[in-house]
Structure 1
Amino acid sequence: MLKLRNLLAVGKGNNNAVRSLSTTPSCNDSESWFSKLLVRKIEPTKESHSRMLSDKEIIYALHTHNVRPDSMGSYLNNYKNTVALINEKKANLSTELVASWTVQVGDMDQCLHLWKYTGGFEKIDQAKDDLWNDPEYLSLMQERSKFLRSRHLQYLLAFSYWPQIASRTGKNIYEMRSYRLTPGTMIEWGNNWARAINYRQHNNEAFAGFFSQIGRLYNVHHIWCYKSLQDRKETREAAWRSPGWDECVAYTVPLIRDMHCRVLAPTEFSPSQ
């Protein structure tokens, strides 16, 4: 790693050298140790990285709400009514709720709501104009503000190599693993995870994979679905026993600046249970 840093420092004066260096190897490269650090050359392109990795016609909005500890019941009832109102106007809004969760392990007194917009940012603009001129919606928003400590919104794109999002039934828990990547490494992340995801589809645990488009940038969210914490433990241990999984994971570690996970439980009004 020290040698790589020195090479990168030397290459700062040479733009071509910097562009051709990457920090992650492909999983199946069997050449020298240094060649394993070269996944691909990131050349100048007329196409954005987000276009390479995803379909920009479908945008996901992740709403993170930090709720007052004494107001969770009132907050959930308010949001349930908000979802019902939006569902009534669904034909005009081109949006739908994918899932809603409360955090069980991690950032407590927190709720996450994942919405899907079909038709790109144009539909988000239209939905915002429609809702912000609806007195009932504004009334629910004003009421909800009494129950909140803070909130955050991210617009996300789904990685094209992840399985299509499908609602789950029965009793499940979800794990959201969130990563903050070093700027400039999203292509390399996708290059490795396009292989790694193949090791995690046997039990249908892969729910969704996103990267941020607006909001906190270079954020990645992987969402997994399990029957229980014990099922999570057994599934993850099985993945580590699969030849190749450990290499794919190890190669993404240098790309991560920080990470955290949250265990989530679906709300009663969540379409995915």
Structure 2
Amino acid sequence: MSRLHDVVTLTIEMGSMNAVFDGIQTHADTEHATLLGCWYSDIGALNKVMVLRRYDSEAALITERQQLLLGGNPFGCGKHVTDIQIDTYALFPFLPAIAPGKRGNVYEMRVYGIKQGCLQKVIDAWQQALPEREARSPLLGAMYALDGQVSRFLNIWPYESLNERSRLRALAVSDGVWPPKGGPALLTTLESSIYLPAPFSPLC
């Protein structure tokens, strides 16, 4: 199965969430793209909707990207969109494919900037440390960016609640299993946002 994904982040008008959800539910799953998840921001920058999709090939991804941009009406809800950001990602090679299912009520989206030339070191550090970390709470996926000006990767963590997130993260740190050994020295920036799944999201 292809490990190519894109993340489309829409900034939307206030009060337009339901109309945007209707558009995404209707248009996000196509012959080129498989909808995996749709979430809306709850902590961090608000009025954001994130769409995660998987592609069977690079050609399919490019075709869908062109249609999304040239059509001028992303997901049929363009009139409610004030900004759009599209990022292309590849799943870390040692991770299993992301599959739909019930994972949690709260999703933490973390984006790390990576020092120049250190991507493979980051992947190696995560591969070594992740089994112990996932014994405490599962990772949905970690993906490195294939475009943009900054080397970076996205990791998505589902939790049952914000309290559970705080407890499990603190446990992993106190047990000495997280962050990965040497990992922080490879990074430049960190952004973290909390998203909640849309009612129709395949990942919920």
Shorter-chain-normalised TM-score: which range? 0.7 to 0.9
Q: CA deviation at 1:196?
A: 1.7
CA 1:122–1:226 in structure 2 vs 1: closer, same or farther (change >3 Å)? same
CA 1:128–1:177 in structure 2 vs 1: closer, same or farther (change >3 Å)? closer
Structure-2 residue corresponding to 1:188: 121
Query: 2:42 touches 2:194 (CA, 8 Å); kept in 1?
Result: yes
User: What are the equivalent positions in structure 2 for 1:1-273 lying under 5 Å apart?
Assistant: 57-83=2-28, 86-87=29-30, 90=31, 93=32, 95-118=33-56, 120-127=57-64, 138=71, 141=74, 144-169=77-102, 172-245=105-178, 248-249=180-181, 251-273=182-204
* Matched pairs, number: 203
CA 1:169–1:124 in structure 2 vs 1: closer, same or farther (change >3 Å)? same
Query: 1:101 touches 1:113 (CA, 8 Å); kept in 2?
Result: yes
Deviations 1:136-182 (A, max 9, x none): x9585485222111111111000022343232327521101111112
Query: 1:179 touches 1:259 (CA, 8 Å); kept in 2?
Result: yes
Report SS of the residue matched to 2:153: strand
Q: Which amino acid aligns with 1:122?
A: A
Query: 1:154 touches 1:216 (CA, 8 Å); kept in 2?
Result: no
Q: Which amino acid aligns with 1:111?
A: V
The normalised TM-score by structure 1 is 0.67
Instruction: Return the alpha-carbon distance in structure 1 between the equivalents of residues 17 and 109 of structure 2.
Output: 21
Moved over 4 A (4+): 126-129, 137-140
Report SS of the residue matched to 1:272: coil
Report SS of the residue matched to 2:16: helix
Q: What percentage of residue pairs aligned between the two structures are identical?
A: 19
Structure 1 gaps, min length 5? 1-54
Report SS of the residue matched to 1:233: helix
Deviations 1:23-60 (A, max 9, x none): xxxxxxxxxxxxxxxxxxxxxxxxxxxxxxxx9x4310
Higher share in helix: 1
Q: CA deviation at 1:211?
A: 0.5
Query: 2:23 touches 2:75 (CA, 8 Å); kept in 1?
Result: no
Instruction: Return the alpha-carbon distance in structure 2 between the equivalents of residues 181 and 138 of structure 1.
Output: 33
Higher relative contact order (CA 8 A, sep 6+): 2
Larger-gyration structure (1/2)? 1
Instruction: Return the alpha-carbon distance in structure 2 between the equivalents of residues 121 and 179 of structure 1.
Output: 24
Q: Which amino acid aligns with 2:21?
A: L
Query: 2:137 touches 2:168 (CA, 8 Å); kept in 1?
Result: no
